[in-house]
Each structure stands twice: as C-alpha cells, then as structure tokens.
C-alpha cells in the first residue's frame, strides 16, 4: 500500500476515534448555566436576542445561538441533540488540524497532530458542551488553512477572500475573544505582504531582451502584492460589518452592566495563576488547572503537571524542527512555527491584560489556540522520532506521560455527573405530566427555560415570563399573567416562593392557591391556581363550624379531571369573637372509594401567609386552596374533604357535629 493510502487509513481511524470520544456520555452530565443560556437564546430571533441581551446584561454575541437555533429546529432541543452540534464542530477542528499538519510536516506529523487533537481532553470537553467554543475553534483552524492558501496563491480571488471573511465573522459573532486570533493573522498579513512588495520592488521591471517587434519585455509587478492587502482588508471589513447591527443594539448597555459586575464575578488573578491555569488546561484539559469548570472542579496536582511539562517540551522542540516536506502553501512561509507560537502567545498576553480589566477571563475562551499548540507538539514529537534511538526513546517517554494523563483525565470527565444540586433533570421529570398548554412560568434566570427546553418535551412547555419587576409594575404585570393563564409556575433558585426576596411569589401567594411546591437541589418549583379562576362562595353556600369557633363556607366542587391536573376551591373562614391563640393547619384531602387517602395538600391558611393566631375578632379570611393530582392516580370517583389540625401538636379540630372533616365535593378522574 502506498504512503498516501496508509495516511488516509490512519486519518480516517483518527476521525472515527475523535467522533467516538466526543459522542460518548454526551448527555451524561447535566446541562449547566451557560448551556441553559445557549438553549434559551437559541429559541429567539435576532432582534429578540438583542433585546434579552440588554435585559439580562448578557454580553455573548448571537451567531452561535442563532446557528444552534437552526440546528435545534431540525435535530431537536434535547441535551444530546444540542451538544451534538459541538461534536461535529469538534470533528471539523480535528480534520482541519490534520490537514494543516500535513501541509506543514507531511503525513507523520499530520497523524501525530490528528491523534493529539482527537484525544485532547480540552478539545473533547468543549466538543461536548452546548457553547460556542468548539465552533470558534473549528472556524479559527479553517481560517488559518484558507489564509495560508490565499497568501501563497499566484492569483487573487475575491470570492475566496470573502469566504475567509465569513470564517472570521462566524467565530467573532459567536465569541468576541476571537478578535485576538484575527489580530494575529492581520499582523502576519501585513508582514508577509510588505516583504513581498519589498522583493518585487528590488527586481528590475524591464528586461533588456526585446520582444518581437522591438518592444521591451516588461515584468509586471505581481497583482497580489497590490491587491492582497486590499482583499484581506475587505475580508476583515466583512467580519466586522456582520457584528455591527448587534453591537449597535446592545454593546453600550451590556458592557456597562458587565463593568458593574467586576469584583463580584472574578476569574484568574495574577500571572502565575493565569498562565499556569492556561498551560494546564491547554495540555491536560478542564479540571486539571486552577480554574475548574462547572461541575468539574479543579484538581491541580495529581500528576497533571507532568503531562503539561511533557507537551510543553514537545512544543518547544517543534518550534525549532525543520519539517521534512512542507506543501507549497507553507514552504513559501518560513515563519510558520513562529506564526503558530504567536497564535498561542498573543491571545494569552492579551487575555492577561483583559483579565486585569474585567477579571473573568478563562482558558476556554482561547480554545482556538489549542490546535496550534498541538501542532507544535506534534512537530516536536515527530522530530524526536526521526532522530537517533536516544531521542526516539525520549519522544516515546514524553508521549507515554501525556497519554497516561489524558486517559486519566478523560475517564474522570466521563464519570463526573456534575453537581447534583444543579441538575434540572429531576425538575423536568417532576413537571412532566403536569404542565399544560395554557400554563405560564415566571423565571428570573434565563438558563431555567433553557433547561426545560431540553428536558421537558414531549410534555407541553409553559409560556415563559421574565420575572424582573419594579414595585410599580409588579401588580399589573402579574395580574395580566394570572388573567391570561389557567395556572402559573414559579421557577426559583436558592429561594422558595415566599422568601422575602421573592416579590412575585409573595404576590401570587396572597392571591392564588398554591397547589405544589418542591425543592430539587438548589432549584425550587411552585404552581399556583389564580384565585379568580376559583368560584367564591355564594350567599347560600354550605357552611360548617369547628370546635374552636372557626366557621367555614365554601362553594361545592364537582369536577372531572385527569391525572396530573390541578383542582382548587375558594374557602371563606370567619374567626370567632374571641382571639384564637393557636395556629392551625388546613388540609384538603381526596379520598378513594374505600376511604383511603389518594391525594392531598396541607398548609396554614392563605398558603401559610395568614396563620390563625394572627386573625382578629370576627375577621373573614378568604383562603384559595388547591391540590395537584398525581400523574399515576387511578381512574375513579374521589371525595374531597376539608379539615383542621393544630400545627404544633397535630391534634385534629373536630366539627360541632363531631366530624373530623367536612365533605366539600367530589372529583371524577378519567
């Protein structure tokens, strides 16, 4: 078999391995905040992206989110489907690294570089995340390939330069830190074009040998020297122009908001921490440095410095290795190793300066610098393997150190489920079967609806409302939501519905029936039935009196429902002339035909906001009350009962006719 055939077999095997490593356990880890944001914005159009970016003080540009939205419309919005987009972007990065390495150092360097890119924990990790980093790395590596071809081409093609501009526009519109990659290419373009112009100017433009007819032969100055810089500038203008509409709509407001957060959300401080974390993560992947990633906290030490040192040593050797047979695209660019170094060094230095200004710069921002780093390491390892036996043994030892640490880090990554307190899959599982098409959901963090976009279907999703309310807007906006929807979900984080910081929860609690609330780690979910949808007791409504003097009036309930529905009743309590000294809990229970408890909900009056020991003499208290039927509730007829018991002792308060509860109606479940 020819060398070319062996190369293609090896390259195909590398791509298959790369795909498998990125697909394995793709949705094992729960979505985290930034991925939830991606899913939230992916559902929005361009102008909605801009509007919510301003409201949420979110500085990420929209291109990745818009592309992800188009992808999700075809492939679905599950965690697996949305992360699969990054898998394919990561696969393109591996293929582009293979191609670039083959152009530079031949088939051996290409296979080493492809293998490193396929198994790099840094590239694998971000190929399994619904974030823009994998897309940026893919476009950035492809842009280098196209840039080299345009610089070495004898003919200038505006269309290809515009394609190059598009390859810059996409990652810049997905993550602003791509500007460092563009700056490096711009600097080298200026250097290369100026040297080409200098060489052309030093040549004689006219030969002394006349052409037939006696006319002198003129050596024209290469057109590329004159137009290349103009075409490159046009490509940069295209990349920048694509960002202008979003910048104009958002930048002044979001940048001011981020500056206001400085000192609260901080990243890597000091040169040792900053550059050390980047070196560790570039070499060994997330969790190996000091940053740690959401659900993948730092594990500095653990032998990872050995792998980082081995890769750095190989990259240093690669900087000075002469490739065996570079392609014409690179042979005319003898500075290629230093170009690769600049793709690593300049973004790092610029990032460090940036970090000292806003203090939230992380290694993942520079994922596009990892392929150049691996290219240098591959060239270094290839150079060592081509030398004497001693150097070959050193190269194999360095490769073994890297491989052993990568296996350990990838195994840890695949086995790490993340922080269970941040996992919203149990939330979606609890809501599944209960959500209905006319539900509303109020949220305060945009990743909340993003999570539910991924986890809740095929159950219907509620209509989401951002819960940012001024004191003046709170009542009218919530009243409009309650009037337009049959039920209202409240999605909270680290607070419950009646926390003093939860203005929406307090408002709903005073005017609605709380039928469900549950903690899931740091998440809290509550469901309210607006009181306006519960008929108030009529003047001739049935009444009952309890032994402690409390009088109850209600509107009888006779409804047909399905498992998972919410049912409610509007109770009206009247306090006795004497003050009630003790607190009492009201229970709403559904009894099966055999008298067993089938479902129920207990709370103090008005969802616990109006305890009975605070009622005044003869005060009338309206108490909207409801319960959420279990999704596995068997069909049948169920009797609804209301009763009271002492909150402290649990002793049931009897009715005057010595009953333990009052029957208020029935529910027929089909």
Topology of the domain comprising 543-669: Immunoglobulin-like (2.60.40)
DSSP-derived secondary structure letter, 108? H
Q: What is the pLDDT of residue 439?
A: 96
Q: What is the pTM of this model?
A: 0.90
Chain CA centroid to CA 402, Å: 29
Q: Cα(130)–Cα(36) distance, rounded to whole angstroms?
A: 8
> Which are the contacts of 119, defined by CB distance < 8 A and separation ≥ 6?
17, 18, 21, 403, 406, 410
List of residues 6+ apart from 670 with CB closer than 8 A:
560, 561, 562, 635
Q: Is the pLDDT of residue 348 over 80?
A: yes
Which residues, in sequence order, are bridge partners of residue 440? 463, 488
Is pLDDT above 60 for 261? no
Q: What is the pLDDT of residues 84-113, one digit of tens each?
A: 999 999 999 999 999 999 999 888 899 999
Rounded-to-integer distance, Cα 450 and Cα 437, Å: 18
pLDDT confidence band for 220 (50 / 70 / 90): very low
Are 121 and 285 in contact, with CB atoms under 8 Å apart? yes
Confidence at residue 329, expressed as pLDDT on a 0 to 100 scale: 77
Query: In the chain, where are the structural domains located?
Result: 3-206+219-415, 424-533, 543-669
Q: pLDDT tens, 535-561?
A: 889 889 999 999 999 999 999 999 999
Burial class of residue 509 (count of CB atoms within 10 Å of its CB; 0-12, 13-18, 19+) = buried
At 512, is the secondary structure helix, strand, or coil? strand
Tell me the mean pLDDT in the region 35-61: 94
What CA–CA distances, in Å, run from 286 to 38, 158, 300, 381, 393? 20, 40, 10, 23, 29
pLDDT tens for 356-369 read 776 678 899 999 99
259 vs 250: CA distance, rounded Å: 14
- Higher-pLDDT residue of 266 and 494 is 494
Structure-block tokens of residue 603: 């709370």
Q: For residue 4, count other CB atoms closer than 10 A to its CB.
A: 9
Please give the backbone phi and psi of residue 536, each rounded to the nearest 5 degrees, phi first.
-75, 150
Q: What is the pLDDT of residues 59-74, one digit of tens each?
A: 899 999 999 999 999 9
Higher per-residue pLDDT: 348 or 106: 348
How far CA 210 is from CA of 195, 201, 205, 218, 221, in Å, comes to 30, 21, 13, 9, 18
How is 129-180 classified by DSSP, letter by letter? Answer: SSSSHHHHHHHHHHHHHHHHHHHH-SS--HHHHHHHHHHHHHHHTT-GGGHH
Of 95 and 331, the structure prediction assigns the larger pLDDT to 95
Comparing CA positions, the residue from 418, 412, 376 lying closest to residue 129 is 418
Long-range pairs, 262-267, Cβ under 8 A, ≥24: 262/358, 262/359, 263/359, 265/359, 265/360, 266/359, 266/360, 267/291, 267/355, 267/359, 267/360, 267/361, 267/362
Cβ neighbour number for residue 505 with a 10 Å cutoff: 25
Q: What is the token pair recorded at 425?
A: 């899959």
> Phi and psi dihedrals of 544, rounded to 5?
-150, 155
| pLDDT more than 90, % of the chain | 74
For 604, list phi and psi in degrees, rounded to 5: -70, 165
Q: Is the pLDDT score of 262 beyond 80?
A: no
Question: If you count them, how many residues does the chain have?
Answer: 670
Q: Tell me the pLDDT tens digit for each residue of 281-323.
A: 999 888 765 444 444 444 444 567 888 999 999 999 999 887 7
Q: What is the pLDDT of residues 424-483, one digit of tens each?
A: 999 999 999 999 999 999 999 999 999 999 999 999 999 999 999 999 999 999 999 999
- Work out the burial of residue 538: count CB atoms within 10 Å of its CB; fewer than 13 is exposed, 13-18 middle, 19 or more buried: exposed
d(CA 52, CA 37): 11
Could you tell me which residue, 236 or 205, shows the higher pLDDT?
Answer: 236
Rounded alpha-carbon distances, angstroms, from residue 181 to 70, 136, 186: 26, 10, 9
Residue of 537, 536, 534, 502 whose CA lies nearest to 517 = 502
Q: From the CB of residue 265, how many other CB atoms can be counted at a distance below 10 Å?
A: 10
Distance, in Å, from the CA atom of 73 to the CA atom of 82, rounded to the nearest integer, reads 10
Q: What is the rounded CA–CA span in Å between residue 606 and residue 621?
A: 8
Distance of CA 599 to the CA centre of its chain: 38
| For range 168-191, the mean pLDDT | 95
Mean pLDDT score of the chain: 89
Cβ–Cβ < 8 Å for 250, 53: yes
Tell me the three-class secondary structure of 60-95, residue by residue.
Answer: CCCHHHHHHHHHHHHHCCCHHHHHHHHHHHHHHHHH
Question: What secondary structure letter does DSSP report for 595?
Answer: S
Given this model, what pLDDT does residue 106 score?
86
What is the DSSP code string of 451-468? HHHHHSTTSPPPEEEE--
Percent of the chain with pLDDT over 70: 91
Neighbours of 95 (CB within 10 A): 20
pLDDT single digits (tens) 520-537: 999 999 999 999 889 889
Query: What is the number of H-type helices and E-type strands within the chain?
Result: 21, 17
* Residue 224 pLDDT: 58
pLDDT digits (tens, 9 = 90+) for 598-636: 999 999 999 999 999 999 999 999 999 999 999 999 999
Distance CA 522, CA 505 (A): 17
Calculate mean pLDDT across residues 339-366. Answer: 90
pLDDT at 113: 96
pLDDT (tens digit, 9 = 90+) per residue, 110-161? 999 999 999 999 999 999 999 999 999 999 999 999 999 888 877 778 889 9
What pLDDT is attached to residue 302?
Answer: 52
Q: What are the residue ranges of helices labelled H in 389-502?
A: 389-415, 425-431, 447-455, 471-484
DSSP states along 253-301 = HHHHHHHHHTTTS----SHHHHHHHHHHHHHH-TTSSSS-BTTB-----
Distances (CA, A) of 620 to 386, 530, 552, 575: 92, 20, 10, 6
Neighbour-count burial for 550-562, b at 16+ CB within 10 Å, e otherwise: bbbbbbebeeeee
End-to-end CA distance of the chain: 70
pLDDT band at 209 (very low <50, low <70, confident <90, very high): very low
CA distances from 233 to 120, 182, 230, 509 (A): 34, 11, 5, 60
Q: Tell which residue, 576, 573, 556, 646, has the closest CA to residue 610.
A: 573
Least confident segment among 82-91, 246-255, 342-351, 390-399: 246-255
The tokens for 625 are 């009350």
DSSP class of residue 538 equals P
């Amino acid at each position: 078999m020819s060398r070319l055939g062996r190369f293609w077999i090896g390259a195909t095997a590398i791509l298959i391995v790369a795909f498998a490593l990125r697909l394995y356990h793709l949705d094992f880890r729960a979505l985290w905040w930034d991925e939830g944001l991606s899913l939230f914005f992916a559902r929005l159009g361009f102008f909605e992206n801009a509007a919510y970016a301003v409201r949420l003080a979110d500085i990420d540009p929209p291109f990745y989110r818009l592309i992800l939205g188009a992808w999700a419309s075809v492939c679905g919005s599950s965690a697996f489907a949305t992360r699969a987009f990054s898998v394919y972007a990561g696969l393109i990065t591996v293929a582009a690294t293979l191609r670039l390495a083959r152009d530079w150092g031949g088939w051996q360097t290409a296979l080493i570089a492809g293998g490193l890119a396929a198994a790099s924990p840094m590239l694998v990790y971000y190929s399994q995340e619904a974030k823009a980093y994998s897309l940026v790395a893919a476009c950035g590596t492809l842009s280098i390939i196209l840039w080299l071809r345009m610089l070495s081409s004898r003919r200038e093609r505006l269309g290809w330069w515009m394609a190059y501009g598009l390859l810059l526009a996409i990652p810049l519109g997905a993550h602003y830190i791509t500007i460092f990659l563009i700056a490096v290419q711009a600097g080298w373009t200026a250097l290369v074009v100026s040297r080409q112009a200098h060489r052309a100017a030093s040549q004689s433009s006219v030969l002394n040998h006349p052409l037939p007819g006696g006319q002198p032969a003129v050596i024209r100055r290469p057109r590329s020297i004159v137009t290349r810089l103009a075409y490159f500038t046009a490509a940069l203008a295209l990349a920048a122009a694509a960002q202008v509409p979003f910048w104009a709509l958002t930048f002044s407001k979001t940048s001011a908001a981020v500056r206001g957060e400085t000192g609260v959300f901080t990243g890597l401080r000091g040169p040792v921490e900053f550059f050390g974390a980047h070196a560790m993560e570039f070499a060994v992947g997330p969790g190996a440095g000091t940053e740690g990633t959401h659900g993948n906290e730092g594990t500095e030490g653990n032998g990872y410095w050995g792998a980082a040192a081995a890769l750095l040593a190989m990259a240093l050797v690669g900087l000075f290795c002469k490739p065996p047979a570079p392609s014409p695209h690179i042979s005319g660019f003898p500075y290629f190793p230093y170009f690769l170094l600049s793709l690593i060094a300049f973004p790092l230095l610029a990032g460090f300066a940036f970090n000292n200004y806003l203090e939230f710069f992380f290694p993942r921002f520079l994922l596009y610098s990892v392929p150049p780093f691996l290219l240098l390491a591959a060239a270094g390892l290839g150079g060592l393997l081509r030398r004497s036996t001693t150097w070959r043994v050193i190269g194999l030892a360095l490769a073994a150190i890297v491989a052993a640490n990568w296996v350990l880090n990838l195994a840890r990554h695949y086995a790490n489920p993340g922080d269970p307190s941040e996992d919203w899959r149990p939330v979606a599982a609890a809501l599944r079967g209960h959500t209905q098409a006319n539900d509303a959901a109020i949220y305060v963090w945009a990743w909340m609806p993003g999570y539910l976009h991924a986890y809740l279907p095929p159950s219907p999703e509620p209509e989401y409302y951002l819960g940012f309310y001024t004191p003046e807007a709170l009542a009218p906006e919530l009243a409009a939501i309650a009037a337009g929807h049959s039920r209202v979900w409240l999605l909270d984080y680290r607070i419950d519905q009646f926390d003093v910081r939860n203005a929406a929860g307090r408002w709903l609690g005073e005017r609605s029936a709380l039928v469900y609330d549950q903690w899931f780690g740091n998440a809290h979910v509550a469901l309210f039935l607006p009181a306006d949808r519960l008929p108030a007791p009529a003047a001739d409504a049935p009444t009952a009196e309890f032994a402690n003097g409390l009088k109850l009036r209600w509107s009888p309930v006779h409804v047909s429902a399905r498992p998972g529905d919410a049912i409610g009743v509007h109770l009206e309590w009247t306090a006795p002339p004497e003050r009630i000294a003790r607190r009492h809990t009201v229970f709403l229970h559904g009894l099966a035909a055999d008298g067993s408890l089938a479902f129920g909900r207990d709370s103090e009056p008005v969802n616990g906001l109006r305890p009975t020991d605070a009622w005044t003499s003869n005060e009338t208290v309206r108490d909207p009350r409801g319960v959420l039927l279990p999704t596995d509730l068997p069909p049948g007829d169920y009797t609804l009962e209301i009763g009271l018991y002492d909150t402290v002792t649990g002793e049931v308060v009897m009715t005057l006719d010595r009953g333990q509860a009052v029957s208020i109606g029935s529910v027929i479940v089909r």
